[in-house]
Structure 1
Amino acid sequence: MGDHKGRTSQPDFHNLYRHGLIRAAVCVPEVRVAEPGFNARATVDLARQAHDAGAVVALFPELGLTAYSNDDLFHQQALLAAALDALAEVVEASRTLRPLLTVGLPLPVDGRLFNCAVAVHAGRVLAAAPKTYLPNYREFYEKRQFAGADAAVSTDIELLGERVPFGNDLLLTATNVPGLTLHMELCEDLWTPIPPSTYAALAGATVLLNLSASNITIGKAAYRNDLIAAQAGKCISAYLYSAAGPGESTNDLAWDGHAVIFEQDRLLAESERFPSGAQLIRADIDLEVLQAERLRTTSFHDNAAAHRERLRGLRQVRFELELPAGDLGLKREVRRFPYIPAAAAERDALCYEAYNIQVHGLAKRLAASGIQRIVIGVSGGLDSTQALLVAAQTMDRLGLPRANILAYTMPGFATSTETRDNAWALMRALGVTADEIDIRPSCEQMLKDLGHPYADGESVYDITFENVQAGERTSHLFRLANQRGGLVLGTGDLSEIALGWSTYGVGDQMSHYNVNASVPKTLIQDLIRWVIATGQFDAATNQTLQAILDTEISPELVPADETDADDGAGIQSTEAKIGPYELQDFNAFWITRYGLKPSKVAFLAWHAWHDKDAGEWPDNLPPERRNQYDLATIKHWLRVFCRRFFQISQFKRTCMPNGPKVGAGSLSPRGDWRAPSDSEPDVWLEELRRDVPDA
Structure 2
Amino acid sequence: MHRAGEKIRIWREAHRPPLSAEEFGARYGAPEPWPSRTVYGWEAKGKIARPGVQKRLAELGVCQPADWLEPALGQVNTKDKRPMGATHRFYDIHTHGLVRVATATPLLRPADVAYNAQGILAQAREAAARQVDLVLYPELSLSAYAIDDLHLQGALLEAVEAQIAAICAATRDLATVLVIGAPLRRNGRVYNCALALCRGDVLGVVPKSFLPNYREYYEKRWFAHGRHSIGQTIALGGREVPFGTDLLFAHPVIPGFVFGIEICEDFWAPVPPSTRAALAGATVLLNLSASNITIGKADERHLLCRSQSSRAACAYVYSASGHGESTTDLAWDGQGMIYELGDLMAESARFDLVPELCVVDIDCQRILNDRQRMGTFNDGAEADGHPENRYRRIAFDHRPTPGDKGLIRPVRRFPFVPNRQDKLDEDCYEAFNIQVSGLIRRIEATQPKSLVIGISGGLDSTHALIVAAKACDALGLPRSTIRGYTMPGFATSEGTKSNAWRLMEAIGIT
Q: Tell whether the 8 Å contact from 1:155 to 1:165 is kept in structure 2 after alignment.
A: yes
The reply on whether 1:200 has 2:274 as its aligned counterpart is no
SS at the partner of 1:13?
A: helix
| Aligned residue type for 1:377 | G
The reply on whether 1:166 has 2:243 as its aligned counterpart is yes
Q: Aligned residues: percent identity?
A: 49
Q: Choose the corresponding residue for 1:150, options 209, 227, 237.
A: 227
Q: What's the CA shift for 1:389?
A: 1.2
Task: Find the counterpart in structure 1 of residue 195 from structure 2.
Answer: 118
Task: Find the counterpart in structure 1 of residue 127 from structure 2.
Answer: 50
Partner Cα separation in structure 2 for residue 410 and residue 245 of structure 1 = 63
Task: Give the total of aligned pairs.
Answer: 426
The reply on whether 1:261 has 2:367 as its aligned counterpart is no
Q: Tell whether the 8 Å contact from 1:366 to 1:372 is kept in structure 2 after alignment.
A: no
The reply on whether 1:365 has 2:442 as its aligned counterpart is yes
Q: Tell whether the 8 Å contact from 2:279 to 2:387 is kept in structure 1 after alignment.
A: no
Partner Cα separation in structure 1 for residue 363 and residue 487 of structure 2 = 48
Q: What's the CA shift for 1:153?
A: 7.5
Partner Cα separation in structure 2 for residue 43 and residue 314 of structure 1 = 29
Q: Tell whether the 8 Å contact from 1:183 to 1:197 is kept in structure 2 after alignment.
A: yes
Q: Tell whether the 8 Å contact from 1:155 to 1:166 is kept in structure 2 after alignment.
A: yes
Q: What's the CA shift for 1:314?
A: 0.9
The reply on whether 1:241 has 2:318 as its aligned counterpart is yes
Residues 155 and 404 of structure 1: is their aligned pair in 2 closer, same or farther, counting only changes over 3 Å?
A: same
The reply on whether 1:408 has 2:478 as its aligned counterpart is no
Residues 409 and 178 of structure 1: is their aligned pair in 2 closer, same or farther, counting only changes over 3 Å?
A: closer
Q: Tell whether the 8 Å contact from 1:39 to 1:86 is kept in structure 2 after alignment.
A: no
Deviations 1:498-526 (A, max 9, x none): xxxxxxxxxxxxxxxxxxxxxxxxxxxxx
Task: Find the counterpart in structure 1 of residue 30 from structure 2.
Answer: none
The reply on whether 1:422 has 2:422 as its aligned counterpart is no
Partner Cα separation in structure 1 for residue 310 and residue 170 of structure 2 = 35
The reply on whether 1:83 has 2:168 as its aligned counterpart is no
The reply on whether 1:301 has 2:301 as its aligned counterpart is no
Residues 109 and 154 of structure 1: is their aligned pair in 2 closer, same or farther, counting only changes over 3 Å?
A: farther
Partner Cα separation in structure 2 for residue 400 and residue 143 of structure 1 = 69
Q: What's the CA shift for 1:39?
A: 0.5
The reply on whether 1:32 has 2:109 as its aligned counterpart is yes
The reply on whether 1:135 has 2:205 as its aligned counterpart is no
Residues 248 and 413 of structure 1: is their aligned pair in 2 closer, same or farther, counting only changes over 3 Å?
A: closer
Matching of residues 424-503 of structure 1 within 5 Å? 424-433=501-510
Q: What's the CA shift for 1:151?
A: 5.5
Q: Choose the corresponding residue for 2:451, options 364, 370, 374.
A: 374
Give the alignment's TM-score, normalised by structure 1: 0.59
Task: Find the counterpart in structure 1 of residue 66 from structure 2.
Answer: none
Residues 80 and 370 of structure 1: is their aligned pair in 2 closer, same or farther, counting only changes over 3 Å?
A: same
Q: What's the CA shift for 1:227?
A: 0.2
Task: Find the counterpart in structure 1 of residue 6 from structure 2.
Answer: none
Task: Find the counterpart in structure 2 of residue 211 from structure 1.
Answer: 288
Task: Find the counterpart in structure 2 of residue 231 from structure 1.
Answer: 308
The reply on whether 1:97 has 2:177 as its aligned counterpart is no
More deviation, 267-276/347-356: 347-356
Task: Find the counterpart in structure 2 of residue 526 from structure 1.
Answer: none
Q: What's the CA shift for 1:420?
A: 3.1
Residues 405 and 102 of structure 1: is their aligned pair in 2 closer, same or farther, counting only changes over 3 Å?
A: same
Deviations 1:237-293 (A, max 9, x none): 111111111111111110111111111211111111111122111111111111111
Deviations 1:612-670 (A, max 9, x none): xxxxxxxxxxxxxxxxxxxxxxxxxxxxxxxxxxxxxxxxxxxxxxxxxxxxxxxxxxx
Residues 409 and 134 of structure 1: is their aligned pair in 2 closer, same or farther, counting only changes over 3 Å?
A: same
Task: Find the counterpart in structure 2 of residue 74 from structure 1.
Answer: 151
Partner Cα separation in structure 1 for residue 385 and residue 259 of structure 2 = 19
Deviations 1:391-428 (A, max 9, x none): 11111222332122232336689965444322211110
Residues 409 and 179 of structure 1: is their aligned pair in 2 closer, same or farther, counting only changes over 3 Å?
A: same
Partner Cα separation in structure 1 for residue 107 and residue 215 of structure 2 = 26
Task: Find the counterpart in structure 1 of residue 90 from structure 2.
Answer: 13
Task: Find the counterpart in structure 2 of residue 628 from structure 1.
Answer: none
Greater strand content: 2
Task: Find the counterpart in structure 2 of residue 189 from structure 1.
Answer: 266
Q: Choose the corresponding residue for 1:320, options 397, 420, 427.
A: 397
Partner Cα separation in structure 2 for residue 112 and residue 67 of structure 1 = 19
Task: Find the counterpart in structure 2 of residue 61 from structure 1.
Answer: 138
Partner Cα separation in structure 1 for residue 118 and residue 489 of structure 2 = 77
| Aligned residue type for 1:264 | L
Residues 412 and 251 of structure 1: is their aligned pair in 2 closer, same or farther, counting only changes over 3 Å?
A: closer
Partner Cα separation in structure 1 for residue 155 and residue 493 of structure 2 = 87
Q: What's the CA shift for 1:65?
A: 0.5
Partner Cα separation in structure 1 for residue 357 and residue 220 of structure 2 = 31
The reply on whether 1:176 has 2:253 as its aligned counterpart is yes
Residues 105 and 252 of structure 1: is their aligned pair in 2 closer, same or farther, counting only changes over 3 Å?
A: same
Q: What's the CA shift for 1:11?
A: 2.1
| Aligned residue type for 1:65 | L
Q: Tell whether the 8 Å contact from 2:280 to 2:387 is kept in structure 1 after alignment.
A: no
SS at the partner of 1:308?
A: coil
| Aligned residue type for 1:182 | F
| Aligned residue type for 2:411 | V
Q: Tell whether the 8 Å contact from 1:110 to 1:154 is kept in structure 2 after alignment.
A: no
Q: What's the CA shift for 1:184?
A: 1.1
Task: Find the counterpart in structure 2 of residue 274 from structure 1.
Answer: 351
Residues 226 and 372 of structure 1: is their aligned pair in 2 closer, same or farther, counting only changes over 3 Å?
A: farther
Q: What's the CA shift for 1:112?
A: 1.3
Residues 157 and 361 of structure 1: is their aligned pair in 2 closer, same or farther, counting only changes over 3 Å?
A: same
The reply on whether 1:332 has 2:409 as its aligned counterpart is yes
Partner Cα separation in structure 2 for residue 414 and residue 121 of structure 1 = 60
More deviation, 101-110/382-391: 382-391
Deviations 1:464-489 (A, max 9, x none): xxxxxxxxxxxxxxxxxxxxxxxxxx
Unaligned residue ranges in structure 2 (runs of 5+): 1-81
More deviation, 401-410/126-135: 401-410
SS at the partner of 1:125?
A: strand
Partner Cα separation in structure 2 for residue 102 and residue 414 of structure 1 = 59
Partner Cα separation in structure 2 for residue 85 and residue 237 of structure 1 = 35
Q: Tell whether the 8 Å contact from 1:17 to 1:323 is kept in structure 2 after alignment.
A: no
Partner Cα separation in structure 2 for residue 152 and residue 358 of structure 1 = 53
SS at the partner of 1:360?
A: helix
| Aligned residue type for 1:195 | P
Matching of residues 600-615 of structure 1 within 5 Å? none
Q: Relative contact order (alpha carbons < 8 A, sep ≥ 6): 1 or 2 greater?
A: 2
Residues 246 and 237 of structure 1: is their aligned pair in 2 closer, same or farther, counting only changes over 3 Å?
A: same
Q: What's the CA shift for 1:324?
A: 2.1
The structure whose Rg is larger is 1
Task: Find the counterpart in structure 1 of residue 19 from structure 2.
Answer: none
Q: Tell whether the 8 Å contact from 1:110 to 1:153 is kept in structure 2 after alignment.
A: no
Q: Tell whether the 8 Å contact from 2:281 to 2:388 is kept in structure 1 after alignment.
A: no
| Aligned residue type for 1:212 | S
Over aligned residues, Cα RMSD in angstroms?
2.1
Partner Cα separation in structure 1 for residue 299 and residue 202 of structure 2 = 34
Partner Cα separation in structure 1 for residue 455 and residue 164 of structure 2 = 72
Residues 168 and 29 of structure 1: is their aligned pair in 2 closer, same or farther, counting only changes over 3 Å?
A: same
Greater helix content: 1
Q: What's the CA shift for 1:62?
A: 0.6
Deviations 1:593-619 (A, max 9, x none): xxxxxxxxxxxxxxxxxxxxxxxxxxx
Q: What's the CA shift for 1:170?
A: 0.2
